[in-house]
A = this chain, B = another copy of it.
Amino acid sequence: MGLRERKKEKTRLAILDAALDLFLEQGYESTTVEQIAGAVDVSPRTFFRYFTSKDHLVLWFHDHGEEIMLETLSSRPADEPAFTSLMHAMRAVLEDVEGSTPDDRERFLKLRRLLDEHPRLVGLSVARGAQTDRRLVEVVAARRGVDPDEDQLSHLIVAFASCTMRVGFECPRRDATVPEISRRMAETIELAERSLQPGWDR
């Protein structure tokens, strides 16, 4: 990894951190790209080379999470019920956060607080989730050997899984820690599994 790549990654994180702090301090809408860029001594034009949009700052986590979910999903035994596999994939995302650097964990928590305070951003997040869902449906349908356009159950399995994840992610405590969120998520998963008919996902 050359100097160039390291420098790019550093700039990327500097922008992200500056943005998260500004957002939490003075709100999302009232923070301009110019301010964010200014805070890390970069031109606004360059900002848009690192993040395709202001919104993308909030979604940076999703890109990573989606990747982990797809990887985990493909590593699960093919005969495991799809919903169970998806729950494992979801847990893998949280385990990844737990195992990451303190800086990354802090970014994760700041983002969570940000989402908590700005409903509009939750909308952004679920919209991005819908995109992930479409990809997950492809995988789930393939595993079940059905056509994703025809099989409603594949859609329902992914949809139920993804909203279980969302419900678990909403933690009532504003300053929740990572383990607290994990525990909350585990509770939600358990609740969802108790609510569903055994074998409903084949």
Which A residues form the contact surface with B (CB < 8 A)? 119, 122-124, 126-131, 134, 149-150, 152-153, 155-156, 159-160, 162-164, 166-168, 170, 172, 187-188, 191-192, 194-197, 200-201
In whole angstroms, how far apart are the Cα atoms of A163 and B170 in the complex?
17
In whole angstroms, how far apart are the Cα atoms of A124 and B130 in the complex?
10
Residue among A124, A159, A192 with the highest chain B CB neighbour number at 10 A: A159
Residues of chain B within 8 A (CB-CB) of A129 are 126
Say how many copies of this protein the assembly contains: 2
Say yes or no: A134 contacts B119, CB within 8 Å. yes
In whole angstroms, how far apart are the Cα atoms of A101 and B103 in the complex?
57
Say yes or no: A152 contacts B191, CB within 8 Å. yes
Say yes or no: A170 contacts B197, CB within 8 Å. no
Instruction: Given A134-B119, A194-B200, A200-B195, check contact A150 B126 (CB 8 Å).
Output: no
